[in-house]
Structure 1
Amino acid sequence: MITSNTQEKRNLKHIQYDSDLIVTGGGMSGICTAITAARQGLNVILIQDRPVLGGNASSEVRLWMLGATSHMGNNNRWSREGGVIDEILVENTYRNPQGNPIILDMILMDKVNQEKNIRLFLNTAVYHVEKSAADHIESVRAFCSQNSTLYTFHSPLFCDASGDGIVGFLAGAAFRMGAEGREEFGEGMAPSKEYGELLGHSLYFYTKDTGIPVSFIPPAFALKEISQIPRFKQFKANEHGCKLWWVEYGGRLDTVHDTETIKWELWKIIYGVWNYIKNSGNFPESETLTLEWVGMIPGKRESRRFEGDYMMIQQDLVEQRQHPDAVAYGGWSIDLHPADGVYSELPGCNQWHSKGIFDIPYRSLYSKNIRNLLLTGRLISVSHVAFGATRVMATCAYVGQAVGMAAALCKELQVLPRQLTLDNHMKQLQQRLMAEGQHIPSLVLHEEHDLALQAQISTSSELPFTGFGDVCLWKPLTIPSAQLLPMKKGKLPVFQLALQVLQDTVLEASIRISEKAGNFTPDITLATRTIPLTKGTTSIDLNFDTPLASDGYVFLTFQSNPNIQLGYTDQRVTGVMSVFNSFNKAVSNNGKQIPITSVGVDEFEFWCPQRRPDGQNIAVTFKQQLDTFASKQLKNGVNRPVTTTNAWVANPKDKTPTVVLDWDTPQEIARIDLWFDTDFDHAMESVLMSHPENIMPFCVRAYTIKDSSGKIIYSTSDNFRTLNRITFTEPIRTERLSIQMMHPSDHVPASLFDIRCFEKNK
């Protein structure tokens, strides 16, 4: 028993810790920063002021993680972010395909807890910064509300991933809040004062069908007159969660210090909306529905943005400007919202897309005036307009991975963040990131110590790709449709196509390509053919008689014609897909982007895939056999489709598809990395939305690795991951490795992007 009657001043318990890196903020950017740095050997302290990890992705807010894939509603093919965020999204889809936010909480906690180099502090808020010089942070102080303990955390490096930028703000780091005027950067999307300078906060709610009538009595503070919300007629009884992202408020207030005021207004709105749905009589289908959950803290979009050595602007995104220090990419639209939010007469957002993904430079990821402060998440060095695209969670997480690796390199080289831009350090950083799965546009991985580069690689077979011949179903050509095909430089082959013609008509077909290599916006038409058709089932030849100037993807496109049905196949192959000039209102995709003249973005069409179980390939064939899936792809240093598939694919008839590595002399192998296809085009929204499968159909699930004696040194039958990193307690000495795989299914042949081997497990 403890008793105390003293009237002396009492002090809180106080503990001090030292680490190599302190990350403040346990959202997706902070998580990925911490995990990346920890896996590189740094001792990391991760401070989170909430009881769970994930920030806006957590069960406290319940917003889905998205980035460059943009609900698969833009032209950024195979653009889902790689590395740690890919690992998290793939695992969440495997363990949680229904999108349960509680399960996502569990997965995120599990991920961080498994890293022995991370010390996690939940419910712990940073409130003070100590500096050893005007431009150098010495330590931060924090308070944990659950154990009534004060902490002081010392480190040579700090990362602010807190969203509002509490560490940067207290440290005196240069920052901005609000929107730049058009005259500062010449940004066509710079908002007017009437539109507003800040994006607001949102709260979400979930509903549940009880199966019996449920009444609802609103609280006294609920919004009384629903017509105060100009778009109130858009509410539906069956919509909840982040599908109601436009229920937003606070853009006219201080989005840091007025957050509690904003939260109460959002509660007022939510309970008023639910009262309208339950008691207006306009929604009889809501009779058995009840509120299951209402958010307790708002999801924040925008507050402070900190200044680095480079500030990204609209033109960086729209023009897809290349940066020599690129360490990540983005691809969400420039997505700005009216400051009046749900009370605005304007549309809930104003989204303008780029033609492809854009570079994010390292110079935007550290403070320009606090020399040991790294920046990640939504607070990086961008203008308000560019922020409209960089603020989304998967992009923030991708940036976090770059920052985590930068911190590791800073420690190894004994330099501060800015110094990584000097000498050859940036190339080191980029290569280290790509080795962990971080795709960086236009760059290729080359690891000098990769033993696979010295091996002779052979395979039991290669897919002799000549298109898809088997028609499994017919679909009417009601929307413009295209087959995206990887082609070689030179004259295009003659394409054969099966059709069902409902009445005499004309088919209009064309070959289109992207002006910029690596883009998937078909903005150049090379040739068009118009083919008269008579009623009945037929097969036609399409000879465009046009050359390709370089290897790359082509769009074999067909204009809509309801009198024609195209043949489709169930066969799916890595790096090949069908796309459609369709609509996706979730990302302001109306089939074509037609900007007003002053906004400063491009006009172009959207050609997007359909989600599985749809999205079958068009049954088109050609006689010219392509070596698109040859074994040489396993050494090219790119682990996703870009300008070609970058994958080896086995012949579907091969019963035991095998990759063999031979060396002239025995090698000591301590680690093997295998990179499989987990469909980088699938958006993998983390909550609310469900997915048609929990393992991507292209992913090899079962394989066996043998040494030169035929001994099995590794085997698995339950793979679902992109990267399989196999480490051996004792190095394997062998002059041959053979990796024998099983085809994922009868409709999908085995594929592999890359194999790497190392004598030391680094």
Structure 2
Amino acid sequence: MIYSTGGKKRTLKTEFVSAELVIVGGGLAGVCAAITAARQDMKVVLIQDRSVLGGNASSEVRLWILGATSHMGNNNRWSREGGVIDELLVENMYRNPEGNAVILDMIMLDKVKQEKNITLLLNTAVYEIAKEGEHLIKEVYAYCSQNSTQYQVKSPLFCDASGDGVLGFLSGAAFRMGAESKEEFDELMAPDTAYGELLGHTLYFYTKDTGSPVSFIPPAFAIDVTKEVPRFKNFNAKEHGCKLWWVEYGGRLDTVHDTEEIKWELWKVIYGVWDYIKNSGNFPEADTLTLEWVGMIPGKRESRRFEGDYIMSQKDLVEQRTHGDAVAFGGWSIDLHPADGVFSEKQPCNQWHSKGLFQIPYRSLYSKNIHNLFLAGRIISVSHVAFGATRVMATCAYVAQATAVAAALCHQYGVNPRALNEEGKMDILQRTLMKTGQHIPGLCLQDRTDLMQQAHISASSTLYFYGFDSEGLLWKNITTSVAQMIPVMKGQLPVFNIQVEAVENTVLQVHIATSLRLGNFTPEIILGRKEIQLTTGKHDLSLDFELDIDNEQYIFLTFLSNENIRLPYSQQRITGMLSVFNGKNKAVSNNGKQVAVAGSGVDSFEFWTPQRRPEGHNLVLQLSNPLNCFSIDNIRNGIERPTTQPNAWVADPSDVEPKVKIRWDERQVIQQIDICFDTDFDHAMESVLMTHPERRMPFCIKRFRIEDDQGNVIYKEEENYRTRRVIQLEYPCETHSLTLFVDHPSADVPASLFAIRCY
């Protein structure tokens, strides 16, 4: 076909698209926001300027997804984020326990494409907007480099999840860049100019063992890291990928507009590092290694932060302040880095943890001056110091899910974001969020539409916990102080019986401890102490602390470090029961204890953290009185993870056919059944690089079926591994009762459920 070369002006193909919510940015925040909004029956356009989804989690950058669990290296128990981000992590664990970043790309694309309400525009960059008056965005203009098409996308509501805040910037939304002074928010951690006001970018590389010698000739632009990188001795031939997060640069530049310059500097470092490893002679183990992959896109940490009606600051995190409009939580440390990054003489980061989770308020998730603009991901309304904790991907995604549900309510009521707070609709937002799996610390779901609230419920059995099974007993020395976390009810503490073995004559020290703040898991208050003289051999101990407990809470039965004593451990695992250790996890600046620097405004406390499976066994204890904390009533208490109690029904392990019976006085028409299983919210589920020993969490029920009052099977599942199952029945079920039959996950793990809801 021949096209005229006449003087008529040519224009690019233009497509006009209408939506109910436009999300700019397809990183993890944008993905989770889009899926969440689509499931709330919104028509969503998701605009992503890259060819894959996931941002820093994608194969283009390859950073593992982390949030409040912090590599299981802090005191935030059962704190993995819920909702869609949990769904993605659990799916990735099942399909991709090896941590292949390309498979994670596939999973995210698959999840987005399954949602009929999402229009996905990949390789499409927003470059201009149109406004209606001063405070409203009317439409965005975007261009796709792959099909040479420009898009004009119109919507009443917009969400900026772009990382650099391109939509907020173009719209005139108020923003900040760089650190605030100590005085503005009374933040003692606010850095001075010598430390720097911005976090930099990072590029990663992967290596591969070929089995035969491989040479490496560096490019001319590679630098000599032994002369230019103060921390060059930290490099080794074993670590690659995001374990080299500290190869960072750019904090003294414009982290938006200087990104290409920053990338080149990082390439100089990376190829210089590989030259050093391959050619210095210091790493003979690298002889057969080749450089398999180097990042093309820097992993960005910080650029613009936009102003909402509330700016979170250091004290919100450290003091765990409560907010009436809380919609999400965080729990990563306040993690700040020197602006000079890998070229700095300073340590690569300063991480200061809070004692527990902190709430994130809705007022920080929309622009204060652009009235139809939501904020999601790392650009939310926080100070530079608070940003150190809110910027990590799982937290960014969790926040984005809250903005998506808020957008759906704004669409439903025909209002803009601020109005949800001003018009008294916050309880509706919080309740809707919790129904999607969003845990909000301090809140429980009260859903009057849930038919379970009017039902009579019973179970074939309930676990009355007298102690852990001793079958397959394991004996281990107390090389590190260990505590068994035990959920106790208000009243007298039971007597604990345990057999111990002394290798030689010694003294065993045992404490009962609890947290200063109800709901935290830092054993900082010692309620009772015992010192027991032991002679060589095994001893049956009866530990009676003669204590009355004021509140339902977890207590820590603690055995202090003594290598001359061995304790018995069980193979049995039970929902809401956990052993923790006063160990170290240097990946998150956990050296067993956080010792606050004077004048830093953070707390000093000990870290008590679990061991990863296949370790992390529970202590073989026996109790004088059973724990009655696994009642069937827990499945409708509105909390879907352990908090101050396990909040789960657990069946007796001896029950050969565990079942839950739900009965109503009058016949009900059931169209939807929601079931919440235990996929171990304490497991961090790092998405790439690290491998995991399990595809399915050991507490999760694999097989179940539901029958009506006539014994008809209305739903059956043989391969469950998910946290939440939202079962839409093919035909409405009219019945007086439902019976849920479940299998124990294994011989060592009794069946458990957090919630059942019927609609």
Report what 1:399 is aligned to.
399
How far apart in 1 are the matches of 2:465 and 2:632? 14
Equivalences for 1:212-251 in 2 at 5 Å?
212-251=212-251
Contact residue 226 and residue 272 of structure 1 kept, 8 A: no
Report what 1:551 is aligned to.
552
**Deviation at residue 469 of structure 1 after TM alignment:** 4.3
How far apart in 1 are the matches of 2:743 and 2:730? 26
How far apart in 1 are the matches of 2:730 and 2:481? 55
How far apart in 2 are the matches of 1:610 and 1:645? 19
How far apart in 2 are the matches of 1:213 and 1:235? 20
1:211 aligns with 2:211: yes
Report what 2:264 is aligned to.
264
- State the TM-score, normalized to the length of structure 1: 0.99
1:520 aligns with 2:521: yes
Report what 2:311 is aligned to.
311
Report what 1:591 is aligned to.
592
How far apart in 1 are the matches of 2:376 and 2:467? 43
Please give the secondary structure, in 1, of the residue aligned with 2:346: coil
Q: Which amino acid aligns with 1:24?
A: V
**Deviation at residue 52 of structure 1 after TM alignment:** 0.2
Report what 2:276 is aligned to.
276
Q: 1:44 to 1:2 in 2, by over 3 A?
A: farther
Q: How many residues align?
A: 758
How far apart in 1 are the matches of 2:4 and 2:651? 76
Q: Which amino acid aligns with 2:33?
A: T
Report what 2:31 is aligned to.
31
Report what 1:539 is aligned to.
540
Please give the secondary structure, in 1, of the residue aligned with 2:497: strand
Report what 2:454 is aligned to.
454
Q: Which amino acid aligns with 1:498?
A: Q
How far apart in 1 are the matches of 2:285 and 2:665? 72
Report what 2:501 is aligned to.
500
Report what 1:113 is aligned to.
113
Bigger shift: 125-134 or 253-262?
A: 125-134
Contact residue 469 and residue 621 of structure 1 kept, 8 A: no
**Deviation at residue 423 of structure 1 after TM alignment:** 3.1
Q: Can you list the C-alpha shifts for 1:244-282, whole angstroms capped at 9, x where unaligned?
A: 000000001000000000000000000000000000000
**Deviation at residue 634 of structure 1 after TM alignment:** 1.1
Please give the secondary structure, in 1, of the residue aligned with 2:640: coil
Q: Which amino acid aligns with 1:76?
A: N
Please give the secondary structure, in 2, of the residue aligned with 1:720: coil
Q: 1:677 to 1:225 in 2, by over 3 A?
A: closer
Please give the secondary structure, in 1, of the residue aligned with 2:115: coil
**Deviation at residue 725 of structure 1 after TM alignment:** 1.1
Contact residue 24 and residue 30 of structure 2 kept, 8 A: yes
How far apart in 2 are the matches of 1:199 and 1:365? 22
Q: Which amino acid aligns with 2:750?
A: P
Please give the secondary structure, in 1, of the residue aligned with 2:108: helix
Report what 1:367 is aligned to.
367
Contact residue 327 and residue 440 of structure 2 kept, 8 A: yes
Bigger shift: 261-270 or 461-470?
A: 461-470
How far apart in 1 are the matches of 2:92 and 2:6? 53
How far apart in 1 are the matches of 2:125 and 2:622? 61
Report what 1:630 is aligned to.
631
Report what 1:438 is aligned to.
438
**Deviation at residue 225 of structure 1 after TM alignment:** 4.3
How far apart in 2 are the matches of 1:285 and 1:331? 38
**Deviation at residue 224 of structure 1 after TM alignment:** 2.5
How far apart in 2 are the matches of 1:14 and 1:103? 33
How far apart in 2 are the matches of 1:709 and 1:337? 63
**Deviation at residue 626 of structure 1 after TM alignment:** 1.5
Contact residue 568 and residue 620 of structure 2 kept, 8 A: yes
How far apart in 1 are the matches of 2:597 and 2:546? 37
How far apart in 1 are the matches of 2:590 and 2:353? 9
Report what 1:660 is aligned to.
661
Please give the secondary structure, in 2, of the residue aligned with 1:550: coil
Q: Can you list the C-alpha shifts for 1:319-345, whole angstroms capped at 9, x where unaligned?
A: 000000000000000000000000001
How far apart in 2 are the matches of 1:589 and 1:227? 30
Report what 1:419 is aligned to.
419
Q: Which amino acid aligns with 1:147?
A: N
Please give the secondary structure, in 2, of the residue aligned with 1:539: strand
Contact residue 200 and residue 248 of structure 1 kept, 8 A: yes
Report what 1:153 is aligned to.
153
Q: Which amino acid aligns with 2:194?
A: E
Report what 1:745 is aligned to.
746
**Deviation at residue 107 of structure 1 after TM alignment:** 0.1
Report what 2:477 is aligned to.
476
How far apart in 1 are the matches of 2:117 and 2:469? 53
Contact residue 225 and residue 269 of structure 2 kept, 8 A: no
Equivalences for 1:59-98 in 2 at 5 Å?
59-98=59-98
How far apart in 1 are the matches of 2:544 and 2:354? 32
Contact residue 250 and residue 340 of structure 1 kept, 8 A: yes
Q: Can you list the C-alpha shifts for 1:552-593, whole angstroms capped at 9, x where unaligned?
A: 100000110010001000000000010000000000001000
Report what 1:15 is aligned to.
15
**Deviation at residue 424 of structure 1 after TM alignment:** 2.6
How far apart in 2 are the matches of 1:225 and 1:667? 71
Please give the secondary structure, in 2, of the residue aligned with 1:713: strand
Q: Which amino acid aligns with 1:663?
A: W
Bigger shift: 307-316 or 719-728?
A: 719-728
How far apart in 1 are the matches of 2:468 and 2:35? 42
Q: Can you list the C-alpha shifts for 1:500-545, whole angstroms capped at 9, x where unaligned?
A: 1100111100100011111101111111111111110121011111
How far apart in 2 are the matches of 1:296 and 1:593? 37
How far apart in 1 are the matches of 2:467 and 2:653? 13
Report what 1:332 is aligned to.
332
Please give the secondary structure, in 2, of the residue aligned with 1:483: strand
Contact residue 225 and residue 273 of structure 2 kept, 8 A: no
Q: Which amino acid aligns with 1:17?
A: V
Please give the secondary structure, in 2, of the residue aligned with 1:457: strand
How far apart in 1 are the matches of 2:505 and 2:639? 47
Q: Which amino acid aligns with 1:676?
A: F
Query: Mind listing any 5+ residue stretches in structure 1 that lack a counterpart?
Result: none
How far apart in 2 are the matches of 1:406 and 1:635? 25
Report what 1:651 is aligned to.
652
CA RMSD between the two structures: 0.7
How far apart in 2 are the matches of 1:215 and 1:318? 50
Report what 1:669 is aligned to.
670
Please give the secondary structure, in 1, of the residue aligned with 2:369: coil
- State the TM-score, normalized to the length of structure 2: 0.99
